[in-house]
C-alpha cells in the first residue's frame, strides 16, 4: 500500500483526484491507487525552553545559553487527531510519498513527521513535486516521482534555519529583555534572526534621514549647434578643486567659470559612439518580484499579494505561489499553446496582447539548468472565469499573464549614441537613444499605468536618455547656441514602503557594511524566504516596532528604544545575510547541518557574552531605587500595580504605585 502525505487538505484532494478519485474517510481519502492523507502545515512544533526543563519558565540570565540536545518536537494540540491518523497509515504502508510544497519548508514539514514516527530511512519514500493543482500538472507529477533522499539538502537547510531561529530567538530575547529590565525598561525585547535586521533596515534608514545634510551642487549644460541639429550636453566631471568625489561642482563660481571659458573656446566633436542593443523579454515572476511590482502598480502589501496568489493557486489558475525561481522547464513549452489560447479569449486585458505572439520564439526564461524544485509563477492550462475573480486576484493574474505573454515576443531593439564634445579643457557629453522596435515592450505600453514597473534597467541619464541626436562625425565643428547651470540639491534616502522593504530584504547585499561580504552575497537569495518575508514585515508592525504612515514605514518610540538596547551586530543585516548564505551551502551539500550547528552555538555564546558587557542606557524619566540606586520597574500584582527594584532578588525594595509613579517607600519582610 502506498500512502501519500500532503501538506494540507486542498492539496490532498487534488492528488486524490489525480489518482482516480476515491472515498473520503476519517482524515484521508482512499483511492484505487493509494491512500491520501494530509497535514495542516506544520503539525509538529519545537519544544519551548520550559518543555526541556521547567526551570526555564522563569527568564534568568544565569540559565543562558539554552542549547537543546537532543532537539525535540511535540504535536500541536490542534493536530493530535490528524497525527494519529497519519501514524496508523504510515505504520501499515509499504511505500510513502512526501507531498509537501516544493520548497524548504514543504520538504521539512512532511519529513519531520516521518522522523517523529521513526520511518524516515526505514521504508521506501518518494517525493512528489507539484508546481500547480490543475489535473494535467498533477498527473504529470504523479508520473514523475523522485527519491525523497534526493532532497536531504533541502530538508537539512530548513532544519538548520529552524534551529538557528530558535537559538537566536529564545536566548537573545531573554538576555536583552533581562538586561533591559535591569536598566528600567518594561518591554519584552523580541530578537529574531530575520525580524530584527528587517526592523533595522527601517530604523537605520530613519536615522539616515534625520541626520542628512543636504548638499547644493551645480551642473553646467551647453547646447551645441551642428549643421544637422542641436545637441544638449552635460559637463563631464574631472578632478579639480571644488568638485567632490561624486563629480559634483559645489561652488557656483566654479560652474560659472566653466561656462565662461567654454563659450570663449572653439568646439568640435571629439568622439561619436553608436551601439545597437536589445532589451530581452522580462523574466516571468518569482514571488518577491511579483510582490514588488504589485506594490508599485496597485499599492498592495506583500502579504496581500501572497494571499491572492495562494487563492489563484488553489483555484488551479496559476502555479505554485512561493517560488523563488524566474525560470521555466523546457517541457513547459508544450503547454504554451493552450495557455495562450485561453488568454486570447479574455477581452480585457489580454486579447490584444496575445495578437502579437510568436510561438516559434523561445525566450531565455526556458532553462532546465536554472529550475530547482519549482519554477516561475505562470498561468496554468485552466481557463479562468475572469469576471468571477476578486479585484486583487484579477490584478495579480494580469501581472503574471503579461509576464508570460512577453516570453513570446521579440526583444525590444534600440540604438544608443554617445557624443563627446571638446571645448578647450572641458568635455561635454550627450547621450541619446532611439527605439527601433518595441518588441515585448509594446505589451506594457498599451497600459500607461504599467510604465512604473521595473521591467528593465534604464539606459542613459534621466535628463537625456530620450534625446534624439543628429548625425555627426568626429572632428565636426560646432558652435554654442545656449548655456546654463542647473542647480540641484541632494535628497535624503526615501523611507521604505512595503514593496521597497521587501526588495531590500531580497537584495540584502546592497545593505551590508562589509564590502567584501556584499560581493560574496550578491548571489544570495536575501534574508528570509519568498514564503516568509511578507509575514516578517507584518510581524514587526504587529509588535509595534514600526508603523505605516502614508504608505511609508517609520520606527515607533518602542522601536527606537529597541534600537538603543540592541547592538549593531544584530540590528544590521550582515550577520543574518551570512547565515542565509550558509543555508544555501547546506541545501547544496557543501556544509553539514552538524558543522553549521556547532558554528551557531559558538556564535551564540559570543553574542551572549557581548550582551552581558553592553551598556544599555536607561529610558528617560526612569525612577531609581532609594535603597540601591537601580531602576525601579512598574509591575502588576494581585492587588494592582506596584513598583519593584530591578535588582531583585538581591534588593527587595518595593513601592506603591500612584498615577504611574512610585511612592511611599517600604521593604518586604
Active site residues: 320
3-state secondary structure of 244: coil
Residue where the block lists cell 516561475: 376
- In this structure, what are the phi and psi dihedrals at residue 423, rounded to the nearest 5 degrees? -135, 90
Cis peptide before 132 (omega within 30 of 0): no
d(CA 366, CA 359): 13
* Cβ contact 165:517 at 8 Å: no
d(CA 293, CA 503): 10
Conformational region of residue 424, where left means phi above 0, alpha means psi within -120 to 50, and beta covers everything else: left
- Cα dihedral: 306, 307, 310, 314 (round 10): -170
d(CA 208, CA 573): 16
Kindly state the cell numbers that stand for 300.
Answer: 498592495
E-strand ranges in 446-545 read 477-489
d(CA 505, CA 494): 16
Residue where the block lists cell 494581585: 638
DSSP string, 211-239: H----EEEEEEEEEEETTEEEEEEEPP-S
Nearest CA to 428 out of 219, 258, 233, 224 is that of 233
d(CA 117, CA 302): 36
* Cβ contact 417:274 at 8 Å: yes
d(CA 9, CA 15): 10
Residues 6 or more apart in contact with residue 182 via CB below 8 angstroms: 616, 630, 631, 646, 647
d(CA 208, CA 496): 12
E-strand ranges in 438-551 read 477-489, 546-549
Please report how many Cα atoms fall inside a 13 Å half-sphere around the Cα of residue 32, on the Cβ side.
Answer: 5
Nearest CA to 607 out of 175, 203, 87 is that of 175
d(CA 295, CA 293): 5
d(CA 131, CA 463): 44
d(CA 29, CA 38): 10
In this structure, the strands spanning 95-99 and 125-127 are: parallel
3-state secondary structure 254-300: HHHHHHHHHHCCCEEEEEEEEEEEEECCCCCECHHHHHHHHHHHHCC
Cis peptide before 450 (omega within 30 of 0): no
Dihedral angle sign, alpha carbons of residues 648, 650, 652, 653 = negative
Q: What's 253's DSSP letter?
A: H
Amino acid at each position: 500500500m502506498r500512502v501519500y502525505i500532503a501538506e494540507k487538505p486542498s492539496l490532498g484532494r487534488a492528488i486524490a483526484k489525480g489518482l482516480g478519485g476515491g472515498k473520503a474517510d476519517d482524515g484521508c481519502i482512499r483511492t484505487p491507487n493509494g491512500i491520501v492523507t494530509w497535514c495542516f502545515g506544520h503539525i509538529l512544533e519545537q519544544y519551548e525552553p520550559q518543555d526541556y526543563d521547567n526551570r526555564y519558565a522563569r527568564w534568568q540570565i544565569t540559565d543562558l545559553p539554552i542549547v537543546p540536545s537532543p532537539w525535540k518536537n511535540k504535536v500541536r494540540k490542534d493536530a493530535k487527531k490528524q497525527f494519529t491518523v497519519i501514524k496508523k497509515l504510515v505504520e501499515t504502508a509499504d511505500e510513502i510519498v512526501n507531498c509537501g510544497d516544493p520548497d524548504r519548508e514543504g520538504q521539512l514539514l512532511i519529513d519531520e513527521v516521518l522522523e517523529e514516527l521513526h520511518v524516515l530511512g526505514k521504508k521506501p519514500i518518494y517525493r512528489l513535486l507539484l508546481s500547480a493543482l490543475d489535473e494535467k500538472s498533477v498527473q504529470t507529477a504523479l508520473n514523475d516521482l523522485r527519491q525523497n533522499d534526493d532532497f536531504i539538502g533541502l530538508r537539512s537547510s530548513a532544519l538548520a534555519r529552524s534551529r538557528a531561529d530558535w537559538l537566536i530567538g529564545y536566548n537573545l530575547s531573554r538576555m536583552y529583555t533581562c538586561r533591559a529590565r535591569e536598566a528600567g525598561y518594561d518591554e519584552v525585547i523580541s530578537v529574531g534572526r530575520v525580524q530584527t535586521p528587517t526592523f533595522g533596515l527601517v530604523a537605520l534608514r530613519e536615522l539616515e534621514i534625520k541626520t542628512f545634510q543636504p548638499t547644493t551642487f551645480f551642473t553646467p549644460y551647453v547646447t551645441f549647434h551642428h549643421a544637422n541639429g542641436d545637441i544638449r550636453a552635460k559637463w563631464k566631471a574631472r578632478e579639480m578643486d571644488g568638485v567632490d568625489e561624486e563629480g559634483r561642482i559645489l561652488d557656483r563660481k566654479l560652474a560659472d567659470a566653466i561656462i565662461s571659458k567654454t563659450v570663449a573656446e572653439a568646439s568640435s566633436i571629439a568622439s561619436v559612439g553608436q551601439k545597437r542593443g536589445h532589451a530581452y523579454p522580462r523574466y516571468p515572476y518569482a514571488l518577491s518580484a511579483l510582490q514588488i511590482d504589485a506594490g508599485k502598480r496597485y499599492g498592495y502589501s506583500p502579504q496581500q499579494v501572497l494571499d491572492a496568489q495562494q487563492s489563484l493557486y488553489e483555484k488551479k489558475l496559476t502555479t505554485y505561489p512561493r517560488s523563488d525561481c524566474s525560470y521555466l522547464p523546457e517541457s513547459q513549452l508544450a503547454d504554451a499553446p493552450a495557455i495562450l489560447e485561453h488568454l486570447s479569449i479574455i477581452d480585457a486585458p489580454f486579447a490584444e496582447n496575445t495578437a502579437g505572439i510568436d510561438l516559434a520564439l523561445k525566450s531565455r526564461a526556458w532553462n532546465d539548468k536554472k529550475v530547482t524544485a519549482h519554477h516561475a509563477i505562470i498561468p496554468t492550462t485552466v481557463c479562468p472565469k475572469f469576471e468571477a475573480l476578486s479585484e486583487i486576484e484579477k490584478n495579480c493574474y494580469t501581472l503574471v499573464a503579461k509576464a508570460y505573454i512577453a516570453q513570446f515576443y521579440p526583444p525590444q531593439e534600440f540604438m544608443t549614441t554617445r557624443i563627446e564634445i571638446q571645448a578647450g579643457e572641458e568635455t561635454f557629453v550627450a547621450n541619446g537613444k532611439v527605439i527601433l522596435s518595441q518588441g515585448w515592450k509594446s505589451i506594457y505600453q498599451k497600459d500607461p499605468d504599467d510604465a512604473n514597473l521595473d521591467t528593465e534597467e534604464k539606459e542613459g541619464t534621466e535628463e537625456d536618455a530620450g534625446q534624439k541626436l543628429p548625425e555627426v562625425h568626429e572632428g565636426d565643428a560646432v558652435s554654442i547656441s545656449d548655456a546654463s547651470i542647473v542647480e540641484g540639491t541632494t535628497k535624503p534616502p526615501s523611507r521604505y514602503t512595503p514593496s521597497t522593504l521587501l526588495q531590500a530584504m531580497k537584495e540584502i547585499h546592497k545593505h551590508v557594511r562589509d564590502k567584501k561580504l556584499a560581493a560574496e552575497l550578491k548571489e544570495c537569495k536575501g534574508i528570509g524566504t519568498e514564503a516568509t518575508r511578507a509575514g516578517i514585515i507584518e510581524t514587526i508592525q504587529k509588535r509595534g516596532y514600526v508603523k505605516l504612515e502614508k504608505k511609508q514605514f517609520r520606527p515607533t518610540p518602542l522601536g527606537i528604544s529597541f534600537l538603543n538596547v540592541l547592538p549593531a551586530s544584530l540590528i544590521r543585516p550582515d550577520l543574518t545575510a551570512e547565515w542565509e548564505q550558509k543555508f544555501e551551502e547546506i541545501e547544496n551539500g557543501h556544509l553539514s547541518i552538524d558543522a553549521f550547528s556547532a558554528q551557531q552555538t559558538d556564535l551564540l555564546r559570543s553574542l551572549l557574552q557581548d550582551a552581558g558587557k553592553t551598556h544599555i542606557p536607561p529610558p528617560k524619566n526612569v525612577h531609581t531605587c532609594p535603597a540601591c540606586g537601580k531602576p525601579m520597574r512598574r509591575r502588576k500584582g494581585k492587588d494592582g500595580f506596584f513598583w519593584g527594584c530591578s535588582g531583585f532578588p538581591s534588593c527587595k525594595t518595593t513601592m506603591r504605585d500612584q498615577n504611574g509613579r512610585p511612592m511611599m517607600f517600604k521593604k518586604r519582610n
